[in-house]
Each structure stands twice: as C-alpha cells, then as structure tokens.
Amino acid sequence: MSSNVFQRIYTKLEAITKATVTLRAEGVSNDELASVAGRLAQVVKIKKDLVTLQVFAGTEGIPTNAEVEFYGEPPALNVGEQLSGRFLNAYGEPIDGGPKVEGERRYIGGPSVNPFKRRQPSELIPTGIAGIDLNNTLVSGQKIPFFADPDQPYNQVMADVALRADVDKIILGGMGLSNDDYLYFKQKFEDAGALDKIICFVNTTEQPPVERLLIPDMALTAAEYFAVDKNEKVLVLLTDMTLYADALSIVSNRMDQIPSKDSMPGSLYSDLAKIYEKAVQLPSGGSITIIAVTTLNDGDITHAIPDNTGYITEGQLYLRKDTDTGKIIVDPFRSLSRLKQLVINKKTREDHSQVMNTGVRLFADAANAKTKLENGFDLSDYDLRCLDYAKEYSNRLLSIDVNIKIDEMLDTGWELFRKYFKPEELGIKQSMVDKYWNR
Amino acid sequence: MKTTGKVTGIVSNLVTVEVDGPVAQNELCFIDLDGTKLMAEVIKVNGANASVQVYESTRGLKVGCNVEFEGKMLEVTLGPGLLSSNYDGLQDNLATMEDVFLKRGEYTPALDADKKWDFSPIAKVADKVVAADWLGEVKEGWLPHKIMVPFSFEGEYTVKSIASEGSYTINDTIAVLTDSKGEEHKVTMCQKWPVKVAIKGYKEKPRPFRIMETGVRAIDTFNPIAEGGTGFIPGPFGCGKTVIQHAIAKQAEADVIIMAACGERANEVVEIFKEFPELIDSRTGRKLIERTTIICNTSNMPVAAREASVYTAMTIGEYYRAMGLKVLLLADSTSRWAQALREMSNRMEELPGADAFPVDLSSIISNFYSRAGIVVLNNGQTGSVTFLGTVSPAGGNLKEPVTESTKKCARCFYALSQTRADSKRYPAIDPIDSYSKYLEYPEMEEFFNEKMEQGWVSKVLAARNITLRGKEAYDQINILGDDGVPMEYHLRYWKSELVDFILLQQDAFDNIDCQTPLKRQEYMLNLVLDICNKDYHFERFEKCVSFFKNLINIMRQMNFSEFQSPEFEKYKEQLQKTVENVL
C-alpha cells in the first residue's frame, strides 16, 4: 500500500472485540484502510475521535499497544490486462507466486450503473447442460444463483458452465472455498487451457472469515474494468454466498447491531443487492453476468439468505439427485430463469418454448403417476408411459453430465415425445407437430 | 442565516452533526466532502447533535466536514414535463445524467427549464382564488396539465394579472396574485412541495364510490379496487408480483400512471424503459410512456433515497390529482421501503419492534396509504390517487410485520399463492384468501348495479362461493379417492375449476386475453354462472371430468378470441351444444 505524508502511527487501543478494535485517532475518513499490528483493517465507525476498525484477519493476539497505521484510502485493486490468468487473495495480492499486479488503482465497491443507461439483456449463454439451456436459459447480464445443499457438486457444475460459456473473461470469487475445491478449480481451468481468460480471487476456509467480505467487490471491480473499459463479456462466479452472508452477520454482531431474521443483519437485502446488481448489459456491448452459489440448510429456502437472494436474483437453479436414475439433475420444477423469455424462440429455434413446456409438463405427470403408485392406486397406460419417459428425459436431458447443443436438445425432446406419446396427448401447436414430429 | 454544523460521527450512512443553530426534523442539509455536496436529511435531534441520513455513499467522509442546513424539507418540483420522465428517488432526472455510473453528489434538475409550453388561461383578472385553484393549462402530451395557485399559498388571493395565450417556460411568470394585505405574488408554471406532507387543496375526500378498471378479471370481477382506493399484493418471489403490476400499468383506465420501482431489480425497470415508449394505450391510442412517470430507486441505489422514492411518487400523484385526473400509483415493493426504515432505526440503536423493524412501522405505513383517495376539488370536479403496492414477505410468510401492518390499512388484499404459481395458474391471486372491502360498500354496490347490472355483487359472491365449495370438495376427493366420494363432489370441484380456468386465470402475455374490458367480464361471468347453475347427471366421474375439461378448453378459446367476433361466436355455439348434449 502506498505511504502517505500525513501518516501517523497510533499505539494505544481503547477496545478490542473478536473482529474490531477501537482507538482514538484524528483525520480519519470513513471506509479507509489501516493496518493493525500488520493486519489489514477498515474503518467502520467514527464517533468524534473514537475510530472503530474491522480487522479482516481477526484480532487474535492483538495487544492494546498494537501499532495502527492509516492508509488514507478505501480498499482498492490495481486493474489492467495483467490481471488475466492471476490467482489473488482477498486483498488483491498474488497467491500464485507471480509478481504484484500493476495497473490503474480503483477503489472497490464503486457506484452503481445508472439504470437508464442499461440495456435489456438479450444474448444467450449456452452451457451445454440441457437442464439449463433448454429449460432455464441463461442470458448475458443476468444474475442467478445455484440453490444447493452442501453435498451437491455445485462447484463442478459451475466450473463446467464457466468453461463452456462463450465469454471473454471468467472471474472466480471464492469465499470460504475448501482448499480441495480451490485446487479443483485451478486444475480444471489449467486443463481446459483457459488460464489466460481467468482471474481468481480466493479466500479459503484456512483464511479468516471476515476477509471474505472483500472478495465479491474485488471480483466485480475487475469485472467492471473488463466490461466497461474493454467492452468484454465477463462471467463472474461467486461461491459460496451463504458464507459471505455469515461473515456479514459476524461483523454486525461484533458491532452490537440488532439482528433481524435468522440473526442476519437488517441490511442483508441491500448488502446482497449491491453485489448482484452489478450484473449488467452495457450499451457498449460489454456485460457482466453473475452465477453464484447459495448453499442451503437441508433445502430450506425460507432462511433469510436464500430468501433475500431470491428476491434479488433473476431466478435460481436447483440441483437435486433423481432417485430413479441416480443422477444429479437440474430440478425442472423449482428452477427458474426469469430472463429466459428474452432469448427463447428469439435466439433459439421456434419450437423451443413448446418443447420446453411439454417436456416439463410430462415430467410433472410422471411425478403424479409416481405418487399414485406409492399410494397404492392403479396406473393407467398413460401413467406408465410417463414414468418410462421421465427416466429417459432425466437421463438424456436433465442430468448435469449432458453436454450438447441446443438444437440437439430440442431434437432429443421430439424423439422422446415420439417414442412414448401420440401428438394429441401433448397439446403442442399443430404447426410445430407438422414440422418436427417426423424429423 | 443558514444553520451550519460539523460532522462528529459516522456509521455507514448515518452521520451525526454538531450544529450551531436551529434545525428541524426532516430538514435537508448538504455535507461538504472535498467539494462534493452530499444530500442528507435530519432524522433525530439530541441537544446540539443532529443525526442525519445521507442519501449517498459516505465513503471518505471525515469528522469535521462542514455541513450546511437548507431550512426546508425534501421537496419535489411540480410542473409540466413530469410525465414520461425517469427519476431517481430524489427526483433527479436519470435520463440527463451523462455518465454510465451514478456519480455521488450529482443532482440533475427535474424539469426542463428551456422547454416552452403552450399556455392558455383559465382564471380571469379579479377572480378570487385559493391554493390549488386552476389558473390556466398547458398540453402535456395529450393531457390538460393545469397550472395551479401554489399549494403553499394560504388564504384568498385576487388575480391581478394573468398571462395571455402563448408559449412560456416553466419559470416565466404566468400570473400575479394579490393577497388580502395587498401584497403581490408572482406565480410560475412550477412549484415545490415537501414530499412528506400531503397536498391538500380540495373540498372533501368522500368514500370511494366507483371502480378503477384494470382489465384483470381476478381483480375487476372478484376483488375490484375502487378509484381512489388502496390495495396491496403480497407474495413470495417467483409468484408474479411484478408481472401483475406491469399488466395493470399497461391496461388500467387511468389518466396518469406513476411507477415507483423501490429497491427492486434494475433489469425490471429496464423492461419498462424499453417497452413503455413502444406500447400503445388502447384507450387513447397514445404511447404508454406519455402518461407515465417512473421513479426508480433500484436495490443497489442508496438506501435512504429508497425511502424517499415512495413519497416522491405519492407527491407527484397528488399533484396530478389536484388537476382532476385519475392517477394510479404503483409501488414495487413497499417491503424494501420498510427495510430501509429498519436499517436506519437499527443504526440509530432504537429499541426494535418485531423482526427488528421500527416500532412505528405500522403507523408510517398507514399514514402513507391514507394519502391515496378520491377527492372533490374546489371547483366540484373529482380527482383521485389509487394506490397499489406490492409486499415481499420474508420467506413467503404472510405473518410478518410489513404484511400485517399493510393489511390493517389497505382495503384490497391480493394474496399471491405459491401453490397457484407452482401449478402455473396465473395470475396467482388466491381466490379464497384475497378480498376487496369495496365489495361491501353500499355506494359501490349501487355503482355496479348501474354500470354492470342489478345484483352484480351477489353474482360475484356466488362465483366466489363456487371456488370455496370446490376447494372443500377437492380436499375430500384427495382423502377418499375418486370413487370414494359422491358424484356431487366431482361436480362441485369441476365447477370451481371452470371458474378458475375461465375467469380467474388470465394470460398476461396473450394479446387479447391480457386485457378484459368490464363488459366482457360481465358477459363471461354470466356465461360461467349459467353453466354452473344447471343440473348435471353423470354416471361415472370420468364422464364429468371429460365434460368439464372440454368446456374449459372451448371457453379458453373464447378468451383468446376477440370479443363477439365470428370466431368467438363459433366457440360459443360449440359450447352451447356441448352443454345441451349432457342435459
């Protein structure tokens, strides 16, 4: 960090909590960074000459006579083409053994885009996964999380999605990532030979939780540089936002703030929205798309974190294990991409919406048939066909290990309809049936 | 002289200022941060310390920064040019900002000071006038925009002079008024008004007595909202709150629509920005944007301005009401506004109420809702502000403070149900939980008797009853099995499905079905009730099911066809035959 002429060193702390220290100091500005006994800290509260600092690495072992030095500026990141291919920590410092990143210094957590200057998202992001492309199509400029239980392979799916997406830059913000997952991402990106378009900001479980609070802003500051300055299409991956929110609650708790629902701070909605709303389609053609992970506690979406997230993001993707096929699928009922109408049938084939709706409806019929079976009622011939259809639909389309083009997904859909049903059972527009039934 | 002060404390956007003179609650001030002026509002005063909420990020702010108090509350500028404008919560014009990013401390004027408006006088020299009386009018798009005696003028005035027909800018003097002491006051085409104070200047505020047509059957037929009435739409995410609001904004029979996007997704506002300039209002044939003002404070914009945004929207609404116009105010979502209140209350370390919301949440909400209403102006004409807000209950649970507080003051309740949304029954307005108190108003009943037909309300209640009884039957069928219940249960259930599919459900994305005029709603309700009132005898329940499924299919085709077109009549004939066949 740059040194400053006015730098003064303080050596007397008035109070210490697990995450904050308080001291008397003058000329301090809100949000500015400081070091406390060599650890990075940020000003969160000023009351006359009493300044409270949030110490990112925690306050373990900090004595009351610790040296405190103010930097005179808020957290910042050096941005430039040099960022490509780098692995950095929550402070933007290299963890890959490479040199320091040089470039223009930008404060993180900057202002929002004027909503009037935004453009409506309209570009499809293909992922090869039919559970996404066919049923819940992603659009550039969208923000969407995976709602997943901790035991589900969401990081793998996210890495696949990122590598298959046609984007200029992929920026990973890892919060509380296990070391194994971090190495997995690293290996996967290396194997794909995509390192030149990847930037990672990583906070692993080995590092202090409060540091995580910097990760999304770091990742998005880098994203804004490439999207706004370079007109690039940027995909930002944030995993795991639940751990980010947990870190928020730790800090607000230490600052004696009154918790609201589920011991989360009252500002949780605004805090999350500030991050997710960075997703944008810019008039110049650049865009930021955010795919995040919100881990759930036993599928509970009424918890404050997934609940607030759901109100902010443009849909959500659920993963679940399909007990009939043993595969992990993208749940077609609960998943939703709110922006899919912007591209379906416009950027994809004319039969897309019909195939999508019919496919899901038949899958729902199969679920009803299954309930009937479990309750001991007799199954009709249609029910039985639905069950067979569901197995194959799940295997060949919903499963996350699928990797095919959208047209193939649609053709597979028609193939399954033809195999198990008659056209009049499907309620598809006649013109579509005429054109695609016998292809 | 202005009161000044110095910053003594900062926690996020709550700043304490030591002041050297008098300050008022809700007074505005500007904090000087190295030349950038940050707007803030006083929310608490304790001795010489004023707590202010800053409408911007406080990054970089220091103890000792200078503060200047303005001696007035947050105001909006009212005048021609408000319509088709896009404002943030503080009425800054978003369209005239140059940068892609919102700049801190950048405030843009709400109205174009150079634009000329064609003015024609209404008042004459020597007329006696009071606040809100009409002096003249200009054409704002196709709407007659009245130029009024400023709302802040107290007592009676005499018109000394009035501008003749011609073009003027908003700052040109168009009239000179003399007060009772003989002092002269110049009046221009624009005036300012504090957002947290309701605009009065009307003779009386009667009970609502006619409906505001929205074109949505689940609302107009089943739970009508009155012109000047209030309603709210709570629902979990993904239930279609925003889709309903957008549909209403496009179709409602209002002169002016004000949309307050309060703490919601920016891309949803972009949709309005993109669509409204292209969509045509079917009643006037004009572009929708011409009658619309958008107040946009999305979730990532400063929290304090989010709170201000709903008041800004309401004040603009009241301004147009004073011109004798029908205003529809839509706010999405009032929960985000309540959350903004919560964040501030929390930072001020006030003792919290339920779910950490401030204890006076309920009174703040009801105070706001009470600003809506139909009014009789001084000249006998009526104007109205109808208010419809959405609520985003945490976890989809309606037993939370914002929903409960709103329920106490809003007269229409449109509960969106997750189960209906999951089974794609849109709009997901729950037919059983939702209500409109206006159906119980005798003056409304009279209105319906006249506008629709005698006994309309009892017909609506009959249809509601069918849904209720159908639900009960459905529960029984589920427990006892298809063969375990009498045929009567199946009949009841399927009649309710008919009401549901044909009247309650409506395709917001279909060009014809999206909007149903009242006459057509009347026709369809009668048609459905007719069918439901007949006696049917089926031997097996399968017969009953396929009969009603067939009816539903035919009547849906009717819904998708133009009213009383040959196609429509063809389906109607088919329908009659199908019904006669089983009788």
Q: Give dist(CA B18, CA B2) in Å, integer.
A: 14
Contacts of B242 in chain A (CB under 8 A): none
Q: At what angle do helices A381-393 and A352-374 cross, to 10 degrees?
A: 120
Distance from CA of A308 to the nearest CA of B (A): 7
* Residue A239 · residue A185 · CB < 8 Å: no
pLDDT higher at B511 or A24: A24
CA atoms within 13 A on the CB side of B106: 16
Highest mean pLDDT of the ranges A302-311, A337-346, B111-120:
B111-120
Please work out, in degrees rounded to the nearest 5, the angle formed at the alpha carbon of residue B230 by the alpha carbons of B229 and B235: 145
Residue A432's SS3 state is: helix
Both A384 and A270 in a single domain?
Answer: no
Taking CB atoms and an 8 Å limit, are A302 and B396 in contact across chains?
yes
Compute the distance between CA of residue A41 and CA of residue A37 in angstroms, rounded to an integer.
10
Question: Chain B 432-471, CB below 8 Å of chain A: which residues?
Answer: none
User: What is the model's pLDDT at position A250?
Assistant: 87
What is the rounded distance in angstroms from the CA atom of residue A266 to the CA atom of residue A409? 44
* Total count of domains within chain A: 3
Distance from CA of B265 to the nearest CA of A (A): 6
Query: How far apart are the C-alpha atoms of B572 and B553, rounded to whole Å?
Result: 12
CA–CA gap between residue B217 and residue B213 (Å, rounded): 10
Using an 8 Å CB-CB cutoff, list chain A residues near B355. 260-261
Rounded to an integer, what distance in angstroms lies between the CA atom of residue A108 and that of residue A221? 6
Q: Which two tokens stand for residue B74?
A: 């947050």
B456-582: which CATH architecture?
Orthogonal Bundle (1.10)
In a domain, A125, yes or no: yes
Cβ separation of A114 and B94 shorter than 8 Å? yes
Closest chain A residue by Cα to residue B304: A270
Give the pLDDT of residue A187.
94
Proportion of chain A above pLDDT 70, given as a percent: 98
Are residues A132 and A103 located together in one domain of the fold? yes
Which of the four pLDDT bands, split at 50, 70 and 90, describes residue B348?
Answer: confident
Over the stretch A230-267, which tens digit does the pLDDT of each residue have?
999 999 999 999 999 999 998 888 877 888 888 899 88
- Mark whether A43 and A150 lie in a shared domain: no
- What would you report as the CA-atom Rg of chain B, rounded to the nearest whole angstrom? 27
- Tokens 């904050």 belong to A20
A257's tokens:
């703030």
Residue A103 pLDDT > 60: yes
Show which of A295, A317, A342 is a domain's final residue.
Answer: A342
Regarding whether A94 and A66 lie in a shared domain, the answer is no
Integer Cα distance of B484 and A405 in angstroms: 49
Q: How far apart are CA A185 and CA A163, in angstroms?
A: 11
Name residues whose C-beta falls within 8 Å of residue A81's C-beta, 6 or more positions apart in sequence: A103
Domain end, chosen from A70, A92, A122, is at A70
- CATH code that applies to domain B217-436: 3.40.50.300
Q: Does the structure show a pLDDT above 60 at A2?
A: no
Coil, strand or helix at A213: helix
Give the C-alpha separation, B77 to A367, whole Å. 58
pLDDT at A7: 65
In eight-state DSSP terms, residue A341 is: G
* Portion of chain B with pLDDT greater than 90, in percent: 77
**CATH code that applies to domain B117-194:** 2.40.50.100
Whether the per-residue pLDDT at A224 is higher than 90: the answer is yes
The model's pTM:
0.92
Cα dihedral B53, B59, B63, B69 sign = negative
Establish if A196 belongs to a structural domain.
yes
Distance, first Cα to last Cα, chain A: 64
- With a cut of 80, say whether residue B424 has pLDDT above it: no
Q: What percent of chain A has pLDDT over 90?
A: 75
For A334, which DSSP code? T
CA A96 to chain centre: 23
Query: And the tokens for A104?
Result: 């223009």
Binding-face residues of A in 78-137 toward B, CB within 8 A: 107, 109-121
Residues A65 and A96 in one domain: no
For the record, the structure tokens of A359 come out as: 């496919």
Tell me whether residues A280 and B263 touch, CB distance under 8 A.
no
pLDDT band for position B242 (cuts 50, 70, 90): confident
- Does position B364 have pLDDT exceeding 90, yes or no? yes
Question: CB B301 to CB A112 under 8 A?
Answer: yes
> Mean pLDDT score of chain B, rounded to an integer?
93
Residue found under tokens 């373990």? A60
Domain termination site, one of A309, A342, A375: A342
For chain B, percent of residues with pLDDT exceeding 70: 100
For A53, nearest residue in chain B (alpha carbons): B11
Q: Compute the mean pLDDT over every residue in chain A, rounded to the nearest whole number.
A: 91
Listed by number, the residues of chain B in 22-81 with a beta carbon closer than 8 Å to a beta carbon of chain A are: 57-64
Under 8 Å between Cβ of A74 and A30: no
Same domain for A105 and A32: no
Q: How confident is the model at residue A380 (pLDDT cuts 50, 70, 90)?
A: confident
- Mean pLDDT over residues A93-111, rounded? 93
Q: Which of B134, B125, B116, B114 is nearest to B164 (CA)?
A: B125
**Does the beta-carbon distance from A116 to B273 stay under 8 Å?**
yes
- Give the DSSP per-residue string, B459-499: HHHHHHHHHHHHHHHHHHHHHH-GGGS-HHHHHHHHHHHHH
Per CATH, is B4-73 categorized as 3.10.20.600? no
Q: Is the dihedral of CA B431, B436, B440, B446 positive or negative?
A: negative
User: What's the CA gap between B274 and A115, in Å, rounded?
Assistant: 12
User: Which residue range is the domain that position A156 belongs to?
Assistant: 76-342
- Name which of B269, B303, B349 is nearest A115 (Cβ-Cβ): B269
Give yes or no for residue B319 having a pLDDT over 90. yes
- Over residues B453-462, mean pLDDT: 95
Question: Under a CB-based contact definition with an 8 Å cutoff, are residues B357 and B373 in contact?
Answer: no
Mean pLDDT, rounded, for B560-570: 94
Indicate yes or no: CB of A114 within 8 angstroms of CB of B8.
Answer: no
- Judge if A65 and A119 occupy the same domain: no
Contact B116/A at CB under 8 A:
no
- Domain boundaries in chain B? 4-73, 117-194, 217-436, 456-582
A121 and A101 within one domain: yes
The whole-number pLDDT of residue A430 equals 78
Query: Which candidate in B31, B59, B96, B355 is best for mutational testing of the A interface (most A CBs within 10 A)?
Result: B59
Phi, psi angles (nearest 5°) of residue B540: -120, 150
Average pLDDT over residues B54-67: 94
Judge residue A270's burial from the number of C-beta atoms within 10 Å of its C-beta, 0-12 exposed, 13-18 middle, 19 or more buried. Answer: buried
Classified as helix, coil or strand, A180 is helix
pLDDT at B335: 92
Q: Which residue, A370, A419, A424, A429, is CA-closest to A393? A: A419
Looking at the fold, whether A162 and A216 belong to one and the same domain comes out as: yes
**SS3 call for B278:** coil
User: Could you read off the pLDDT of B175-219 as tens digits, one per residue?
Assistant: 999 999 999 999 999 999 999 999 998 999 999 999 999 999 999
B69 alpha carbon, distance to own chain's centre: 33
Mark which residues 322-381 of B lie under 8 Å from A by CB: 336, 339-340, 342-343, 346-347, 349, 352, 355-357
Are both A205 and A112 inside the same structural domain?
yes
pLDDT reading at A1 higher than 60: no
Whether the Cβ atoms of residue A139 and residue A340 lie closer than 8 Å to each other: yes
pLDDT tens, residue by residue, B369-422 = 999 999 999 999 999 999 999 999 987 888 999 999 999 999 999 999 988 887
With contact defined as beta carbons under 8 Å apart, do B229 and B386 qualify? yes
| Displacement of CA A75 from its chain's centroid (Å) | 22
Q: Is there a contact between B161 and B179 (Cβ–Cβ < 8 Å)? A: no
Is it the case that residue A3 has pLDDT exceeding 50?
Answer: no
The answer to whether B69 and B29 have CB atoms below 8 angstroms apart is yes
- Say if residue A132 is in the same domain as residue A275: yes
pLDDT, mean of residues A20-34: 93
pLDDT at position A208 over 70:
yes
* One domain for residues A46 and A83: no
One-letter amino acid identity for B73?
A: M
Q: How confident is the model at residue B545 (pLDDT cuts 50, 70, 90)?
A: confident
Cα gap B458→B523, rounded to integer Å = 15
ipTM: 0.87
3-state secondary structure of A410: helix
Most confidently predicted of B317-331, B350-364, B533-547:
B317-331
Asked if residue A1 belongs to a domain, the reply is: no
C-beta separation of B246 from B272 below 8 A: yes
A contact residues 353-382, partner B, Cβ 8 Å cutoff: 377
Nearest to A310 among B100, B238, B346 (CB): B238
Q: Please name which of B397, B339, B337 lies closest in space to residue B368, comparing C-alpha atoms.
A: B337
* Mutation for A interface: B6, B8, B56, B63, most A CBs within 10 A: B63
Average pLDDT over residues B248-257: 93
**B303–A111: do the CB atoms touch at under 8 Å?**
no
Whether A199 shows a pLDDT value over 60: the answer reads yes
Chain B closest-CA separation from residue A163 CA (Å) = 26
In the predicted structure, residue A6 carries a pLDDT above the cut 70: no
Q: Do B266 and A115 touch (CB under 8 A)?
A: yes
Cβ separation B267–A46 shorter than 8 A: no
Phi-psi map region of A427: left, alpha, beta (phi>0 left; psi -120 to 50 alpha)? left
Interface mutation target, options B300, B337, B424, B549, chain A, most CBs of A under 10 Å = B300
Q: Hey, is the C-beta of B396 within 8 angstroms of any chain A C-beta?
A: yes
Question: pLDDT tens digits for B296-310?
Answer: 999 988 888 898 999
**What pLDDT was estimated at residue A245?**
96
Closest-approach residue (CA) in chain A for B94: A116
Average pLDDT over residues A323-334: 91
**How far, in Å, CA of A159 to CA of A428, rounded?**
35
Residue A289 lies in a domain: yes
Residue A405 lies in a domain: yes
